[in-house]
Amino acid sequence: MRKHTLKNREPEVLHVTENESLEVTVEKGSECFLVLREEGRAAVGVLNAQYLFRVDENAKLNLTWVQECGETPELHQNLTIHQAEGSEVNVQSISLGSKLAKMQAETHLNGPNAKTHWRMSQIGFDQQILDNNVAVYHHHPSTESCVESFNIVGGEAKVLFDNLVKIDPAGKKSKALQTNKNLLISKRAFARSVPQLEIQTDDVECRHGSTTSTVGDDQLYYLESRGLTPDQARSMLVDGFAEPVLQSIPQLELRNEIRAKLRTRLLEEDTPWN
């Protein structure tokens, strides 16, 4: 496994183009920014990526995880984050490519007052299968987690999202929020979300919710009645859906780049609207 220590306040970008096994340390009290860009190629039949993050006491990590594996036939991502007391981790995860992508992500809140916030967006088209499993374990008291996902599914793609939050007996006064939203933009698109809560103590605050919707005719008409063309209206609706994730990316240039890629991908999508 390749080991890497992040430098305080210096944003870093790591590119993953072939099988990878990476261990990252965020040292005590530091504040680090990492962009992990997975850019697989069609020639790589199966791409395996394993990441282990250790976030020490009172450290902060912002991780922007962009998967743009395009035509890579198969991608397996495995990410584990261990957070110490008082640490804070914000993750923005955007999955754009690969024909079959399976992500297993776990966050372990290993000390009191550790916090984690995941904002994720899976964008599936054609016949992609994107399967994300995210689990958060509250092992200590007064820990907080928030997992939000906003998935856009077109063509005949399938997007699956399983989210487990487990609060141990020691996890009193912990808070957990799970929100999942799926937007289906073609008739043959499919989305399945399974939020799960396992609570083994009392005096916790937990909420979860999941919705699946289509681009509404009424919404399109409203925008068109204000002068937008049907394409502009549709773009605005679909763009807007992933905006909560895009807005949370701290690097403006990267945010705009991802936004532009998403727009290009939407324009390439030729699934008939009806």
Partner 1 sequence: MTQSQQPLFEIKDLHVEVEGKKILNGVSLKILPGSVHAIMGRNGSGKSTLAYALMGHPKYKITQGQILLEGEDITALSATERARKRVFLGFQHPVGIPGVTVANFLRASVRAVRGSEMGPKEFRAKVREELKRLHIPESFMNRSINEGFSGGERKRLETLQLKLLEPKIAILDEMDSGLDIDALKDIASELETSRSQDRSFLLITHYQRLLNYIKPDEVHVFLGGKIVKSGTESLARELETRGYEWAEEAARA
Q: Which residue lies nearer to partner 1 by CB, 70 or 240?
A: 240
Helical residues (DSSP H) of 21-116, grouped into ranges: none
Partners of residue 161 on adjacent β-strands: 132, 193
Q: Which residue lies nearer to partner 1 by CB, 65 or 241?
A: 241
Q: Min. distance of Cβ 222 from partner 1 in angstroms?
A: 5
CB-based contacts of 244: which residues, under 8 Å, 6+ apart? 119, 148, 150
Q: Min. distance of Cβ 186 from partner 1 in angstroms?
A: 18
Partners of residue 32 on adjacent β-strands: 61
CA torsion, ordered 48, 26, 93, 265, to nearest 10 deg: -80
Q: Which residue lies nearer to partner 1 by CB, 57 or 239?
A: 239
Q: Min. distance of Cβ 241 from partner 1 in angstroms?
A: 5
DSSP SS3 for 57:
coil
What is the contact surface with partner 1 in residues (CB under 8 A)? 150, 181, 216, 218-219, 221-230, 232, 236-237, 239-244
Q: In which order are the strands placed within the sheet that holds 144-153? A: 12-16, 31-38, 60-67, 88-95, 115-124, 144-153, 175-184, 205-214
Q: Min. distance of Cβ 173 from partner 1 in angstroms?
A: 29
Q: Which residue lies nearer to partner 1 by CB, 172 or 259?
A: 259
d(CA 241, CA 253): 20
Of the candidates 24, 33, 92, which has an alpha carbon nearest to the alpha carbon of residue 61?
33
Q: Which residue lies nearer to partner 1 by CB, 81 or 96?
A: 96
d(CA 7, CA 124): 34
CB-based contacts of 263: which residues, under 8 Å, 6+ apart? 235, 239
Q: Which residue lies nearer to partner 1 by CB, 111 or 124?
A: 124
Q: Min. distance of Cβ 257 from partner 1 in angstroms?
A: 19
Of the candidates 58, 95, 63, 57, which has an alpha carbon nearest to the alpha carbon of residue 80?
63
Q: Min. distance of Cβ 105 from partner 1 in angstroms?
A: 24
Q: Which residue lies nearer to partner 1 by CB, 43 or 252?
A: 252
Q: Which residue lies nearer to partner 1 by CB, 106 or 224?
A: 224
Q: Min. distance of Cβ 92 from partner 1 in angstroms?
A: 16
Q: Min. distance of Cβ 240 from partner 1 in angstroms?
A: 3
DSSP letter (8 states) at residue 265: H
